[in-house]
Amino acid sequence: MQIINNPNREDWSEILKRPTQTVNDIEDTVNAIFKEVAEDKETAIKKYTLKFDGVDLKSNEVTSNEIEEAIALVPKKLQEAIKLAKSNIERFHGIQKTAKVEIETTNGVQCWQEKRPIQKVGLYIPGGTAPLFSTVLMLAVPAQIAGCKEIVLCSPPNKEGKLAPEILFAAQLCGVTKIIKVGGIQAIAGMTFGTESIPQVYKIFGPGNQFVTVAKQIATKYGVAIDMPAGPSELLVVADDSADASYVASDLLSQAEHGTDSQVILVSTSQELIQEVSKEVETQLAVLPRKAIAEKSIANSKLIFVENDNLALELIDEYGPEHFIICSKNEDLYVNGISNAGSVFIGNYTPESAGDYASGTNHTLPTNGFSKAYSGVNLDSFMKSMTFQKISKQGLLNIGETIELMAEAEGLQAHKNAVSIRLKDLK
């Protein structure tokens, strides 16, 4: 890991660059596949599943028999662990429900807001080197609580044309209505346009590689909403001499092993801690099963020394991390002061892994600095806020002239007439 001491403020943007390709680098590929899926539907899906996943599937749909077989393959202890995690996620997302908001803005003018579920949602679950069955829980649980009628799950098949048993177990546990063995750009395109096997959805959720991230952004051009532009995983830890170097190193590596384009950063006010963490990373990295992946990620990562906590907080806000761990004596400064972060983990005994799996918070979070403007997935992500109003005769008499004056001033005579014709009957 690169150690950087007291970087100048004007160098921050360069130092904090993500190791990702630009949209332009891969947009042409995504657009070409989208065009083909829009025109050729299932034929294009089949073609790209063979090309990218190396498997020729007779059917993309997961059958009930496949689900039953998969459940039998998941060890009972893991099943119980998944159920416990689901319970905590349900509890946290369940309390996010909000009641109808209602007010009489003027005598006779009643306005209110209610939330309704998005009817059709698509969940993208990454496969590849690490099938993320935990992401099924993070997306399907709030979708189910929200009351979404159709919950479609897409995930890339392995070389045998199957999905991980844990993904199928979690999907049936959480009320997913349809499971499709399709991944990558073609999965996002399929949910955007709809094919013979893939239902068209109104909103697409889920993390993925850079191609999936761009595909989701392209989907918005075709009227499909997305949760956020979530790309490769990232973590920033702020720590001082009160932190445990082995804990910090383990947290950095927990994200580094996600993928070669992941990024982890340590910001510290202690040069001694930076040296200790650097040694610990090497020691722990040596025995990791996913060492080859983590090594490449670590090469993109940095250990940054700054002189004080206030400067550290400014630098962290500039970066806008997906995951932010605080291991500092000055904990309150960071907790109360942070503006840009997807999810915050506080104290030496709050590993980021807890949020990934079982504490209850959602792990589908904005990356690549998007935490400056986007929230992580939550219950509201699966709902729409709708406003209602009802105006009585007295209410229209109270605000009618205001509407007329404003409409006339904007030159919209028909808008004025819609009120005037009613007022004429009421006076």
pLDDT of residue 33: 98
Quote the number of domains for the chain: 3
pLDDT in tens, 178-189: 999 999 999 999
Read off the pLDDT of residues 137-190 as tens digits, 9 standing for 90 and up.
Answer: 999 999 999 999 999 999 999 999 999 999 999 999 999 999 999 999 999 999
Q: What count of other Cβ atoms lies within 10 Å of the Cβ of residue 8?
A: 7
Distance CA 50, CA 71 (A): 26
List of residues 6+ apart from 264 with CB closer than 8 A: 234, 235, 236, 237, 252, 253, 255, 256, 297, 298, 301
Check whether residue 174 and residue 265 sit in a common domain: no
In a domain, 348, yes or no: yes
233 is in an annotated binding site: yes
370 lies in some domain: no
Query: Sorting pLDDT into bands at 50, 70 and 90, what band is 241?
Result: very high
How far CA 326 is from CA of 130, 202, 251, 320, 322, in Å, comes to 27, 37, 11, 14, 13
**Domain shared by 84 and 159, yes or no:** yes
Residue pLDDT, tens place only, 322-352: 999 999 999 999 999 999 999 999 999 999 9
Q: Are residues 294 and 408 in the same domain?
A: no
Instruction: Tell me: do 195 and 214 sit in the same domain.
Output: yes
CATH assignment at residue 297: 3.40.50.1980
Among the candidates 344, 360, 376, a domain finishes at 360
Final residue before a domain boundary, out of 213, 230, 247: 230
Among 230, 253, 272, which residue terminates a domain?
Answer: 230
If asked whether residues 168 and 272 sit together in one domain, one would say no
Q: Are residues 248 and 343 in the same domain?
A: yes
Facing residues of 2 across strands?
302
As a whole number of Å, the CA-based R_g of the chain is 25
> Is 28 assigned a ligand-binding role in the annotation?
no
> DSSP character for 122?
E
Angstrom distance (rounded) from CA 180 to CA 223: 22
**275 and 294 in one domain?**
yes
- pTM, to two decimals: 0.93
Q: Do 195 and 45 meet the contact criterion of CB atoms below 8 Å apart?
A: yes
242 and 301 assigned to the same domain = yes
The catalytic site residues sit at 322-323
What domain range includes position 421? 392-426
Is 93 annotated in some ligand binding site?
Answer: no
3-state secondary structure of 74: coil
Take residue 407 and report the two structure tokens written for it: 């409409």
Q: Are residues 209 and 285 in the same domain?
A: no
Q: Indicate whether 323 and 416 sit together in one domain.
A: no
Residue 221 sits in the same domain as residue 249: no
Q: What is the pLDDT of residue 21?
A: 56
User: In this predicted model, what pLDDT tens digit does every residue of 258-272 receive, in sequence order?
Assistant: 888 899 999 999 999
Identify whether residues 242 and 321 lie together within a single domain.
yes
- State both tokens at 314: 């400014």
Q: Is 356 annotated as a binding residue?
A: yes
